[in-house]
Amino acid sequence: VRAALSGLILYFFARFNAAKRERTQLVVMIAFSLLPFSLLLNSTLDTAMVLNALTYVGLVMSSVRVMPQTYKTLRTGNVSNLSARYFSLQFIAGICGLVVELSNAAPST
């Protein structure tokens, strides 16, 4: 859920709020974010194992990707409206993903 919302947010920024150079970078980001899911098409890999691994990779990547922007913002004190909107939308996407994961959690037997 969070990945779908993040992809939608990236698409929105690539389509409406970006210059040509930024648009190219955002399209590359979208392509790379979809690349790990191509592992699901491999019939020799166990689907449950791939999804479990992608969950942990996604958690680490989502934490790491905001660090440089957060550091830059804290160091300079300059928060543009575009980055503030992007990170607030990512925060909402993270909350939605967390709610879905917690609502689908089942006790182990």
**How does pLDDT run across 87-97, given as a tens digit for each residue?**
777 777 777 87
- Number of domains observed in the structure of the chain: 1
Say if 86 falls within a structural domain. Answer: yes
> Which pLDDT does position 88 carry in this prediction?
73
Q: Is residue 99 part of a domain?
A: yes
Q: What is the 3-state secondary structure (H, E, C) of 34-73?
A: HHHHHHHHCCCCCHHHHHHHHHHHHHHHHHHHCHHHHHHH
Distance from the Cα of residue 40 to its chain's centroid: 18
Alpha-carbon distances, residue 38 vs 34, 54, 55, 93, 106 (angstroms):
7, 11, 14, 22, 27
Q: Using CA atoms, how far apart are residues 7 and 14, in angstroms rounded to an integer?
A: 10
The per-residue pLDDT for 104 is 78
Tens of pLDDT, residues 24-77:
877 787 777 777 778 888 888 888 888 888 877 777 776 666 666 666 766 776
The predicted structure's pLDDT at residue 22:
76
Q: Report if residue 82 sits inside a domain.
A: yes
Expressed as residue numbers, the domain containing 95 is 2-103
pLDDT of res. 69 = 67
Contact by Cβ (8 Å): 2, 93: yes
